[in-house]
Amino acid sequence: MIKLENLQKTYPLEKSRGYQALRGVDFEIKQGGFLAVTGPSGCGKSTLLNILGFLDMPSGGKYFFKENNVTSFSDYDRSMLRRHQVGFVFQSFNLLPRLSAWENVKLPMLYMGIEQEKAEADSLALLRKVGLEGKEKQTPLELSGGEKQRVGVARALANHPELLLADEPTGNLDSATGVEIITLLKNLNNGGLTIVLVTHDLNLAKMASKIIKMKDGKIEAEG
């Protein structure tokens, strides 16, 4: 599904040659794969995830998504890929606090033009899928951290993506709840969803089928 060739990203800085966040990254992810990306803060993990999710453009190298070189795509074409092919799970949940869990999952469907009745049914089904049956009408203020992240996962599935990107999804959770969330992601992966997980926790990373460790914008180890 994904192939990176000598991927580079440099951010311009005043009075310098710029900051190199990625310094030639190469790897492949097959359809249905589960990749964990680890490494210290500032090693390029989030930059890599932003490029994989079409939120940012590389400065050099090539990014093939489903055999298409998306580094040559227009902003509009990349936004369409992001809208229809990718789901995002965030460390800070990013839920709308005054909306219920059901409404948080339903809202992106409505933005995509899905009819109200189908959006309501699909959002309820997704909440059941992530283990939140019976809590659909509760707001984020009434949910635990783990439950909020389950809503976040359900929302990430609202566009039926082929690729799920999770950026430190357990960073605000205790260790036991973190394992529950990664187990949920693993179950989704077992159903065929391709997942890229960024995490500092090596024990959680071991639940993925492949791990790469980054350092100073490069892949230091892979296995």
Task: Convert the pLDDT of each residue in 153-193 to its tens digit.
Answer: 999 999 999 999 999 999 999 999 999 999 999 999 999 99
Q: What is the pTM of this model?
A: 0.94
Q: Architecture of domain 2-222 in CATH?
A: 3-Layer(aba) Sandwich (3.40)
Q: What is the pLDDT of residues 45-76, one digit of tens each?
A: 999 999 999 999 999 999 999 999 999 899 99
Q: Residue 15 — very low, low, confident or very high, per pLDDT cuts 50/70/90?
A: low
130-136: average pLDDT: 95
Q: Residue 13 — very low, low, confident or very high, per pLDDT cuts 50/70/90?
A: confident
d(CA 48, CA 21): 9
Q: What is the pLDDT of residues 70-127, one digit of tens each?
A: 998 999 999 999 999 999 999 999 999 999 999 999 999 999 899 999 999 999 999 9
**What residue segments make up the domains of the chain, in order of their start?**
2-222
